Structure formats: structure tokens, C-alpha cells
Amino acid sequence: MAMASLYRRSLPSPPAIDFSSAEGKKIFNEALQKGTMEGFFRLISYFQTQSEPAYCGLASLSVVLNALSIDPGRKWKGPWRWFDESMLDCCEPLEAVKEKGISFGKVVCLAHCSGAKVEAFRTNQTTIDDFRKFVMKCSTSENCHMISTYHRGVFKQTGSGHFSPIGGYNAERDMALILDVARFKYPPHWVPLKLLWEAMDSIDDSTGKRRGFMLISRPHREPGLLYTLSCKDESWISIAKYLKEDVPRLVSSQHVDSVDKILSVVFKSLPSNFNTFIRWVAEVRIAEDTKQNLSAEEKSRLNLKQVVLKEVHETELFKHISKFLSTVGYEDSLTYAAAKACCQGAEILSGCSSKEYCCRETCVTCVKGPGEAEGTVVTGVVVRDGSEQNVDLLVPSTQTDCECSPEANFPAGNDVFTVLLLALPPQTWSGIKDQALMQEMKQLISMASLPTMLQEEVLHLRRQLQLLKRCQENKEEEDFAAPAF
């Protein structure tokens, strides 16, 4: 029985020059001598082939994010945090991308959501001279990489719209190196920069807008130290709607006369799956690292999380929320949270669904790191099909002085709820009828009163909320800038 298939394509040359050809090597050596291949080595170290025919945008972004050593803050496989196409789904469902590809604006949105610093331009927003300067900028640096989206037809290649990173530049020949992520089709190749500009200066039929390029670099610090929003579940759309539309309406239409009343109307109307939307991050300890003492790297990450947690606990809003939650019988113990987290930890260590695990017991222990500072490790015994597995989680904590002895405080629902309210736009509370109460609420959520670390954490969540709103309103093709506050 016959089977129709393809094994690669011959690269049309000219206009392109195969990177591995004699001429391609010569162009590379010339550029290397001139210092315009600095970004190449980082990119080639993390270069990958797109795993689906329509995943060129996702693969290009994965390559660049990993080349920049940006920590995704969530697992890929096993215990490893690593960017993969399968994780880039917050702006467009993967099934939709697999079927029809992804637009320029949504790749920009994904880069923002992943914690990168992004500058994006369509060809009608800049010039070829500026584009050449940007190519030069990224080619002479290890800290900035470019992704281009272009039409293959200009290079006499089969196919239409495509994404790939730009791996280098030969200034004397005015040629750019395209690291084609569709390696099953074409190898990396050099093209005249003017022709690349022409290929970008084409209309994407799916959006009716011109293609372009984006510059991606590292942020000043890793985003989302302790808290993050999750869009893995489709329910995020209804939750985002609740936060954006329902909360302002509730606090303006209800007869609210105190902060407790505001918290009551907001908390009691929360969607049932709200806890899947915002989460605190516990780190799984790898089996070979589960020694008694923390490593310097573990201790450094833990210290940063503990500073953020302490700063949350010291806010006046946290005190209001803790008091309110205690009056409604809300309970959120470390044991319960750790049991769920240990099942998730077992999932990422084994690759099996956490629904297949149950946690038989948990044990909280203190371990020491450099300088004898303590950290908290939760060990859970999880059971699946009669077999047991130990899972260790590194959990941040703060200390509260009491009459008998210091009491440890761990991440819980009250601090998660606190940072989410802090992350809501200030205008959320503008509809409160009582002017004095409105001013009190605005003071409670004021960024100016927050310490620096907590400010950055809240701003990260606020950026995530704004990007989700942009996607929900289908404005990601119009606005490329990172949300500004």
C-alpha cells in the first residue's frame, strides 16, 4: 500500500545560502571575525525543531526563552523547569495553534506572559534601516535575540507564513542567518537582509496585518517569585471576567459600609474553581538533592520567597483578609495544601496524572543551609496502585512571635487572596459609594506603601492580568507593549 510522505526540501539557492555549505561557512567566519555572531552560540545551544507543522512560532519562542535562561517557574517533564512548546498556551489553545498556527501578536503576548522583555514591530511601524540596526544589536549580544515572522514565498520556498529566530548577521554582505525551526524541511540559511525585510513586509491573511519582528531579552529579575497565574484550565476566562467586570459591579451595587463588607461580597461570589487560577509556588526537591542541608542555590531562592511572604503578611490588607476569613470558618492548613502539592510533585517526577495519587501522610521538617539558616521541607508519602513514593517540597515560611515560642507561617489562602486583590487595577474600587471607605480601600491596595520586592511581585501579577484581558478582548494584534502602570 502506497504512503504519501516527504523527506525535506531542497533549499532554493539563490536567494538563500545553506549555512553548512562552503559559502555558508565562509559567511559565518567573516561575521564571527566582525563580532556579529555573539547571539548565535546561545541560540544554537538550545535550538530545537518544531514538534508540529504549525508550531513554528512556539518553537522559536521556546528556543529564545531557553537561550536567555529565563526560568519558566513551572515544570516541563520530570522535575525540570524548561520552556517547551506544550507550555506556551496562555494566549491561544494548543489545539488551535496545531490546526491553524499562531499570529504575530499572540507570540508577542506569550513572550510577555513568559516573563521576557519584548519590543515588537510590524514593518509598517518601523523602517528597514531601523530593522538592520536591531539585527546588529541582537547579533552583537548574548542578552537579546530576535524572532522574525515572514512569508516563505519571497525566498522561493514552499509554504507561506513562518517564524524563526535570527541567528547572526554579516554586515559586509548585508545577510542575516535564519535558524529555521522547521529543520525537517529546510536547514539554517543565510538570506539578504533586504529580501528578509521584503518577506516580513507582507500581509498575514489571518489578521489582515503586516508581519514583522520582535526583540526578546531578559527582565531585570525573574518574574513571579512566589505567586503566579495559571491559564492551563479554560476556566481562566470566566475568572478573568469575574475580576474585570463583576468585582467592580459588586462593590458599587452592594451596600458596602466597611472593608469587611467589601471582602465579603468579593469572597462569597468567587467562582468555584478560583483556586486553580492563582497559586503559590512550592519547589520539588530532586531525589539526589534531598540531603539534610539546603544548597546555597536552594537557600537563595527560598530566601527571596520568604521575603515576599513576610512582606505580604505585614500589609494591612492581609490583616483585614485574615480576620475576615477566620469569621467565615475558612481553613487552609499546610497539611492539606502540602498533600495536594505532594501529589502534584509525584506527578511531575513520574509523568503520571496527579489524579492517580493520594497522599497518605505528610511530615514537616526544618533543614539548614549555609550560615545555619533554616528552611522548611514538607515530605509527603503518596500512594499509587499500592506503591509508595516520597516527595519533598521546599516551602517558604515566616516566623510570628508568640508568648510560648515562635510560630511558623506558611503560604495559604489568605496571602494568595491578598496579593490578588493588590494586583487588581486601582479603578476596581472607584465605584464604592462611601467616599471615606473608597479612600481607605485605595490606601490598603496602594503600591506606594508596599516594599520593593512585593511591589515587583504584584506588578508581575498585574501584568499577567492585563495580558489576559488583552487576549480576552482580542486586542493582542493591536497592542504589543508590556502593560504599563
Residue 257 a catalytic site member: no
Q: Is the pLDDT of residue 46 over 90?
A: yes
Q: How far apart are CA 7 and CA 336, in angstroms?
A: 53
Q: Is the pLDDT of residue 404 over 50?
A: no
Most confident of 134-138, 305-309, 395-399, 479-483: 134-138
Query: Euclidean distance between the first and final Cα of the chain, in Å?
Result: 62
Window from 63-72, 230-239, 422-431 with minimum mean pLDDT: 230-239
> Considering 84, 180, 204, 392, which one is annotated as catalytic?
180
65 CB-side CA count, 13 A: 27
> Considering 162, 189, 320, 460, which one is annotated as catalytic?
162
For residue 354, what pLDDT is reported? 47
Residue 180 a catalytic site member: yes
Global pTM reads 0.70
Cross-strand pairs, 364: 378
Residue with the larger pLDDT of the pair 331 and 72: 72
Window from 23-27, 278-282, 416-420 with minimum mean pLDDT: 278-282
Average pLDDT of the residues in 317-333: 82
Average pLDDT of the residues in 278-296: 64
Helix axes 128-139, 193-200, angle to 10 degrees: 120
Q: Is the pLDDT of residue 396 over 70?
A: yes
For residue 175, what pLDDT is reported? 98
Q: Is the pLDDT of residue 134 over 50?
A: yes
For residue 55, what pLDDT is reported? 95
Q: pLDDT-derived band of residue 43, with 50, 70 and 90 as boundaries? A: very high
* 320, 327 Cβ separation under 8 angstroms: no
Q: How far apart are CA 362 and CA 365, in angstroms?
A: 10
For residue 357, what pLDDT is reported? 45
Mean pLDDT, all residues of the chain = 81
Q: Could you report the per-residue pLDDT of 351-371, keeping only the tens digit for each?
A: 454 444 454 445 555 555 555
Q: Is the pLDDT of residue 197 over 80?
A: yes
Q: Which residues, 6 or more positions from 297, have their beta carbon under 8 angstroms from its beta carbon?
A: none
